[in-house]
Amino acid sequence: MIVFAYVWVGAFGLQGDGLLDKASLLAERIWFQNALIFGAYALLACLLWRGSRLERWVSAWKRLRRDWIGMGSLGLIVVFLAVGTLDLVQLPIKEGKQTALDALSAFVVTESGYSAPLATHTLSLSNPTKLIGHHLLGTDALGRDTLVRTLKGARTALLIGGLTSVIYIPIGVLLGILAGYYRRWVDDLVQYAYSTIASVPEILMLVAILMVLGKGLVSMALALGLTGWVGMARMIRGETLRQVERPYVAAAQALGQSNWKIMTRHLVPNVMHLVVIKFVLGFSGLVLAEAILSYLGVGSPVGTASWGAMIDASRSELSREPMVWWNLAASATALFLLVLSLNVFGDSLRRAFDPRRG
């Protein structure tokens, strides 16, 4: 109830004596949003700390540290994560608010139109004008710096991956453990549910859900979460079926522990390494899905910095004269690097937790 009350105050600025003034309301919202961001990182750190106390996780970390390709991929992921976080953290200013990334890139000016990378004039055959600033990767049709827009695309990828994971991981883990532990009609019901969802082409279901919910990052996360728990549930169910045959489950049942306690205190820790691996590998799929949906025009809202939207806008830019290629190159390269690093790091995690599989 306390959390709900604070969400209400942070969202609507209501207090006992009436409405807050506009500046106070904005400060409340900024503080609340930043608290959510750092709270999510604190929760992630807590989960990693709990995992570090398990012998299996300690052994996996020792093996992972010797994998220089996996550690390099982890470093690249951390860079994207830091950039996305900088564009999420809000800072109050006189005119309203801005992100930390906007504050760091405040010296980057907006030009009057296209400009090529490291060019000194706008890209115009009839009337090229001298640029006000310098742009490493050029500018887009509105004169915005391509490098800054590409960096801001990491925020959209981080939001989609994070929000979707918060939705599909609990659903998949809960249903997978319930199906593997209780079996019988519970297992049949869960299998029927995810078999039905898996029988529908994912892209068609995503587009249908977004047409109902409307365009937006939250709507996209809901759509991806409602369709993305299938793989998680199927994997956790299989591992739970294997774990319930172990002696420790029979010992816990003999001691009279409740089914819920067995599932939460014994089964969940023993399948958590699979959840982490699936989360890392699934994150790359979510980033690609966001890019595809934005490319199709049903993803990110207009004006939102997104690699998929940049790639979509580049279709017409490639056919103009002279050709504008740098917006496509920058967004596609950023998307490729993030997805590749996530997949490589996911494979490294899999080998670290089970080196027998190579």
Tell me the pLDDT tens digit for each residue of 97-147.
Answer: 788 888 888 888 888 888 889 888 888 777 788 888 888 998 888 888 999
- Rounded percentage of the chain residues whose pLDDT exceeds 70: 91
CATH number for the segment(s) 54-104+141-357: 1.10.3720.10
What does pLDDT average to over the chain? Answer: 82
Beta carbons within 10 angstroms of residue 222's beta carbon: 17
Per-position b or e across 259-280, b if 16+ CB within 10 A of its CB: eeebbeebbbebbbbbbbbbbb
Sorting pLDDT into bands at 50, 70 and 90, what band is 55? confident
What's the N-to-C CA distance of the chain in angstroms?
Answer: 48
Residue 22: predicted pLDDT: 60
Place of tokens 């045959």: 245
Where would I find the H helices in the chain? 2-12, 22-52, 55-65, 68-86, 100-104, 146-182, 184-198, 202-213, 217-243, 247-254, 259-262, 268-296, 307-317, 326-353
User: Is the per-residue pLDDT at 333 higher than 90?
Assistant: yes
User: Is the per-residue pLDDT at 281 higher than 50?
Assistant: yes
Mean pLDDT of 232-249: 87
Predicted structure pTM score: 0.81
Place of tokens 């310098």: 134
